[in-house]
Structure 1
Amino acid sequence: MWGRMRKSFAGLVNTARSENDHDRDRRGHNLFEAAAAYVSACAEDDQDQIDEAAGWVSPEALSFGVSELACRAVIALARERDESPQTVARALLGLPAA
């Protein structure tokens, strides 16, 4: 009995996932999804994923998304390290302290 319930539930979950994937494909990607995929692909040096993510939105939108992601990342690291965003940004770029 539990096996049948588990299979039914798994089928329901898989159907919902495929519908969500289909909805996302139909509506397209937003700039933050594109930026997250692009930056993570750059970090992993995955050229195929970089090219794919770059095609999801316009270059201007991707640039804005990457910039917003950078700002949020620096702020999060600054809070985590209890340092200023400027100190963190300079350290990430290998620049001397200002």
Structure 2
Amino acid sequence: MFDVIRKYVARLGLSARTGAPTEARPRGYNLFEAAAAYVAARARDDQDGVEEASSWVSPEALSFGVGELASRAVLALAHERSTSPRAVARDLLGLPAD
């Protein structure tokens, strides 16, 4: 699962708006960059990274970004596994199949 997230985060290396590398822009973080950094830090159990990413945007924006990232990850895994997003989500959470 984390491979899918890592691949997605790697694709975020370009700005969605300008197509320019993120390093070429002034360092202002958007909610998706913050969410990607936050989730990656949580996966590594990196508390300093979690705190840093949390400071980039408001808690509400971070929550929205994490939710969007989760949705996209579940859809990517469902496509990869040729199964439904519901089945993938239940499997990731350790819930019994429907």
Superposition TM-score, scaled by structure 1 size: 0.75
Q: Tell whether 2:49 aligns with 1:49.
A: yes
What is the Cα deviation at residue 39 of structure 1? 0.1
| Moved segments of 4+, more than 3 Å | none
Give distance in 2, aligned partners of 1:83 and 1:34.
Answer: 29
Cα deviation for residue 24 of structure 1 reads 3.0
Secondary structure (helix, strand or coil) at the match of 2:57 reads: coil
SS of the residue 1:71 aligns to: helix
1:56-80 alpha-carbon deviations (Å, 9 max, x no partner): 0000000000000000000000000
* Higher radius of gyration, 1 or 2: 1
- Amino acid in the other structure paired with 1:31: L
Cα-Cα RMSD? 1.4
Structure with the largest fraction of helix:
1
Which TM-score applies when normalising by structure 2?
A: 0.75
If asked which structure has higher relative contact order (CA below 8 Å, sep 6+), I would say 2
Gaps of 5+ in 1: 1-16
Q: CA deviation at 1:38?
A: 0.1
Give me the whole-angstrom Cα distance separating, in 2, the residues matched to 1:72 and 1:42. 17
Paired-residue identity, % = 69
Q: What is the count of residue pairs matched by the alignment?
A: 77
